[in-house]
């Protein structure tokens, strides 16, 4: 049951990060929401919880850290996609 809760929390945090930063399309990418949410929870949530001294338990510091981690992962992915798409577009103009 805990694993299902972690997966659902990760999807919600990843979707929230996409909604905050905006997407290129009108739809959310649920696969990437899962990846960004779980990655953000592992990196940002764990780091924020440990810095705040809360340990590995579910606390507000870990939830905020998860959102910040998902925002960083989502922003990095959007930047990467835009830079590669722009490079492909400019090379086809030659």
> For every one of its 94 residues, what pLDDT tens digit does the chain have, with 9 covering 90 and above?
667 877 788 889 899 988 998 876 778 888 888 899 888 888 877 777 777 776 666 667 667 878 888 999 999 988 888 888 766 555 555 5
Complete DSSP assignment for 31-91: HHHHHHHHHHIIIIIHHHHHHHT-TTS--HHHHHHHHHHHHHHHHHHHHHHHHHHHHHHHH
pTM for the complete prediction?
Answer: 0.74
Measured at the CA of 70, the angle between CA 80 and CA 38, to 5 degrees, comes to: 110
Domain chopping of the chain, boundaries: 2-81
């Amino acid at each position: 049951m805990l694993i299902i809760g972690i997966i659902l929390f990760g999807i919600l945090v990843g979707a929230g990060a996409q909604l905050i930063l905006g997407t290129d399309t009108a739809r959310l990418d649920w696969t990437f929401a899962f990846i960004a949410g779980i990655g953000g929870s592992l990196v940002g949530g764990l780091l924020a919880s440990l810095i705040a001294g809360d340990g590995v338990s579910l606390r507000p510091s870990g939830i905020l850290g998860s959102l910040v981690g998902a925002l960083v992962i989502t922003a990095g992915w959007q930047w990467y996609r835009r830079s590669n798409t722009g490079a492909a577009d400019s090379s086809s103009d030659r």
